[in-house]
Amino acid sequence: MRSKTSFFNRTVFFKTFTSYWPVWALYLVVWILILPVGIANSGYGPADSASLRFEVLNVASQVGVLGAITAGMIAGALTFIYSFNGRSSNFYASLPIRREGIYLTNYFSGLFWFIAANVIIVLLTLLVMAANRHVDFTALLEWFAIVSLLMVVFYSIAVFCAVVAGNVAGFLLMYAALNCGLFICEFLVKAVGAMMLKGLTVSDYFYTGILTPAYALWSDVVTTRSSDGMILTARYLGWPVLLIYTGAALLLAVIGLLIYRRRHMETASDLISVKALRPVFKYLFTFFCALALGFIIYEIVFAFSERASAVPLTVCMLIGAFIGYFGSAMLLNKSFRVFKKWPGYIVSALVIIAVMACVNYDVFGVEKYIPKTDKVESVTVDCSLDTGMVFTDKDNIKRAEEIHALLIGHDYEEGEFTGDYYRIIYTLKNGRKVERNYSYFVDSPSDRVFVFMDELLNSDEAVQGRLSTDIPVNEQTVYYVNVYGWVYDQDVYLNLAPADAMELYETCMLPDIEDGSLGTIDTKQSQEYEWLQISMELSVGYKADGDSMYYESDFDTLDLRVTPKAERTWKYLTDRISELGEPQEEYA
């Protein structure tokens, strides 16, 4: 009788579930505890419809990512674990089923049980909602779609890795590389650059974030709230990225099918089963180890150096490249006899030396880069004099760029003068952010950076930014006031109750603001005079419960620096400090 071939096998389909059912059972139990049990304990009713929707979408957008990363990895490895063993792999190859049939049966069997578990979770949650007399079927459908598509993404990535890799170690390396490898590499590149180039920071805009699934798919749920803090609407923001990644993941699954059709079963147990990809893995692993291990070795050996030196850092990277190149060769060849072939390592070393030389001499102009004014949406300036000031006025943006140029051109010797820090963050019109950090040392208030910073921080835009709050100042919104600073040759802390804060605000702060003595910063004299910082916390929905205080919903802060120039406010605060005798502990 002629053997029959097919693209689907029922026995293989159900064998996958019976062999690895604890994975799907654990997934089901965890989600039952998070969603239906969580909603049951919260007791959301008809009056909490928007809060219920927010809860459902929030766990989908965040817990769903973590669950899909973990469960997708485990399920992808288990459904194709036979391909990691030569005997099991040959057994599957001998079955009267086309390779497409084996691949598709295993792929859909692993995915099917997760989708089935999601359906069960939706039904249980519906019962809980019905018991609470409020059913939000739309939110549950969105939860089901978000969590299921996230599982498609990460499960497809895991299946592709299981097909390309020949053993568990190769699978884990590939899965980690596809999910966060680019992001880690960019972080390491920026960390090395920040060690060698003046002003560069690790926290600059990450270009590879959109190409890193775990980072890109972590989305927020935006809400609108009423004046008393109640949630009115909740909306999931990640649909475009999620749909794009779903399409890319399905394409990756198709590529995995094409590779599986031509895979040599005798390569089972190899680190990488596809021979054409072995050199790619070797050199990517070499350069990654050069970055990661080189950075770690340098940080350990030269931990006390103030600024990175190109030569020892390059040597550390060459050591890391050596470990990566010959270590990967050992893993690929399953042998320690790999030290007879050096040309590949020599070429890699020359590339590393050339790149490090370009970084050291700033061939790419990173250190001197200042965005053009017409491409800048806003500039945020942080310094020891003021923090978080945002400027959108073109003249102020140009002034910030002039300060930036002075900071770039200034060379200093450590410990030469009294120091300050400056951080400039450009938000460009294309959404990109450029951040630079500097430690600047000055010996005179007439220094040009101080002069320009004085003009910038005391511009009309800066003053209005300090004085304006999203929440109005009144007895209902003041949560507390914390005052700290340097008075009587000592650090002082002072806490004001809401009633005292309103007295200070109405009788002292407002008159000082009107005459211009409060709201500005005396940058040129800030090192020589006593000063106080007022931090007034404002909250919508402020409540008091016995002796404990807490706030709900939105909050804002009014931060103002007070000097003796603001006579009314300064006298009120210093009198209160004198009455106390000793400075209070800082507000906790």
Helices (H), 166-277: 168-176, 182-196, 213-216, 239-262
Asked whether 61 and 221 are in contact (CB, 8 A), the reply is yes
As a dihedral over the C-alpha atoms of residue 189, residue 194, residue 199, residue 201, rounded to 10 degrees, the angle is: 70
List phi, psi (to 5°) of 371.
Answer: -60, 145
Structure tokens at 421: 């820090």
As a whole number of angstroms, the distance between CA 239 and CA 224 comes to 19
Query: According to the model, what pLDDT value does residue 326 have?
Result: 95
546 by DSSP, 3-state: which?
coil
Consecutive H or E run containing 435: strand 433-442
Query: According to the model, what pLDDT value does residue 201 have?
Result: 84
pLDDT by residue, tens only, the chain of 588 residues: 355 556 677 777 788 778 888 999 999 999 999 999 988 888 776 767 888 888 899 999 989 999 999 999 999 999 988 888 877 777 777 777 888 888 888 899 989 999 999 999 999 999 998 888 788 889 999 999 999 999 999 999 999 999 999 888 899 999 999 999 999 999 999 888 888 888 888 876 778 888 899 889 988 788 776 655 577 788 898 999 999 999 999 999 999 999 988 887 777 778 888 888 899 999 999 999 999 999 999 988 886 665 668 889 999 999 999 999 999 999 888 888 888 889 999 999 999 999 999 999 989 888 899 999 999 999 999 887 777 789 999 999 999 999 999 888 876 544 343 457 788 999 999 888 899 988 776 666 667 887 888 889 888 898 888 888 877 888 777 877 888 887 766 778 888 888 888 888 999 999 988 888 888 876 655 444 577 888 887 776 544 444 444 444 467 788 888 888 888 998 888 888 877 655 444 433
**CB neighbour class for 358 (10 Å; exposed up to 12, middle 13-18, buried from 19):** exposed
As a whole number of angstroms, the distance between CA 223 and CA 227 comes to 13
As a whole number of angstroms, the distance between CA 492 and CA 485 comes to 6
Would you kindly state where each structural domain of the chain is located, as residue ranges? 13-190+206-268, 277-360, 373-465, 469-580
Which residue shows structure tokens 């943006």?
A: 397
